[in-house]
Amino acid sequence: MTDAAAAKPLRWILNGPALQTFATDPVSVKYFAGSRPFVLQRNGDPVRLPAAWEALPTRAFTSYRAMKRAFDSGKIGAGVKAIIYDNEHWNFTPAEEQARSGTYAQLAAQLAHAHHMLLISTPATNLVRAVAPNEIDAGEARYAAFLRLRIAADHAKAADVVDLQAQGSERDTAKYADFVKSAAAQARSANPRVVVLAGISTNPGGMRVTADDVLRAIHATRAYVDGYWFNVPRPSRYCPNCTEYRPDIALDVLRRLQTEAAGGQTAERSPTP
């Protein structure tokens, strides 16, 4: 990682139960200060975010239909600055929206922009099964198909921010970095102004990872992206394969990033248990 890449300020998406941990941990509070993270909080969420973060309240939807219904009924909530459109090949996104994901990303962007909000599009790599089910060769890797179908470009065209859901390959640094680099370039070719984030996770799809795995993924890609969606999942209907809630891994990552930002040296550590 170059000195310039290490010094570059990162943008973040933060959500879930780890918000309480981040908002009360002194190192995390300092690290996110001034970073203007996109923060997803449910209505009535008791977490009080540090003012120094300058956080942007964000709402997430897994379908354009639900997003439009929320806008039409005035249920978005006061102060929301950004909308996430989380289109994936799962039960929470209508099949029509999966198959025409680029079209619906543009509709979502138009809707968010009409209400003076940013649109964050987060197309999952499994969308290849819906976008071109008859074109995917049984031997073609999902990442290769995602790039060939130009899904990142389709979502970046109208979005303000695009998140590349690469966290599933986090333990394979080279695979993770190759995909993020290529998908980020594709997104920016479609929209030079788009902010590109990549997904990182403490338990991606139920896989056990360490703080070292996460940091290697960040170090290998931060020259190509503007930041990360740091997901600290626990088992839920949105992540049925998740097995461990590990905010300790996230805190270790942030402490070591803070050390780097302060000019310290990054040392390889033994895997987080």
Distance set, CA 27 to CA 17, 19, 244 (Å) = 18, 13, 23
Asked if 189 contacts 158 with a C-beta cutoff of 8 angstroms, the reply is no
Mean pLDDT of the 125-138 span:
85
In a domain, 167, yes or no: yes
Give the number of domains in the chain. Answer: 1
pLDDT band at 139 (very low <50, low <70, confident <90, very high): low
pLDDT over 70 at 197, yes or no: yes
Q: What pLDDT score was predicted for residue 46?
A: 67
Identity of the residue numbered 112:
A
The chain-wide mean pLDDT, for the chain, equals: 90
pLDDT over 70 at 2, yes or no: no
Give 209's Cβ-side CA count (13 Å radius).
32
Q: What pLDDT score was predicted for residue 63?
A: 97
Mean pLDDT of the 216-231 span:
98
Q: What pLDDT score was predicted for residue 61?
A: 97
pLDDT in tens, 154-182: 999 999 999 999 999 999 999 999 999 99
Q: What pLDDT score was predicted for residue 266?
A: 45
In a domain, 241, yes or no: yes
pLDDT over 80 at 5, yes or no: no
pLDDT in tens, 41-95: 765 566 789 999 999 999 999 999 999 999 999 999 889 999 999 999 999 999 9
In a domain, 177, yes or no: yes
Percent of the residues in the chain that have a pLDDT greater than 90, as a whole number: 78
Q: What pLDDT score was predicted for residue 126?
A: 94
In a domain, 266, yes or no: no
**Among 35-49, 122-136, 186-200, 206-220, where is mean pLDDT lowest?**
35-49
pLDDT over 60 at 242, yes or no: yes
pLDDT over 60 at 97, yes or no: yes
Angle at 244 between CA 12 and CA 170, to 5 degrees: 50
In a domain, 268, yes or no: no
Q: Report the CATH number that the domain containing residue 208 is assigned in CATH.
A: 3.20.20.70
In a domain, 71, yes or no: yes
**Which ranges of 8-150 does DSSP label H, i.e. alpha helix?**
18-24, 26-31, 64-72, 95-99, 101-114, 128-131, 142-148
In a domain, 272, yes or no: no
The boundaries of the domain holding residue 101 are 3-261
> What phi and psi, each to the nearest 5 degrees, are found at residue 60?
-120, 140
pLDDT band at 134 (very low <50, low <70, confident <90, very high): confident
pLDDT band at 271 (very low <50, low <70, confident <90, very high): very low
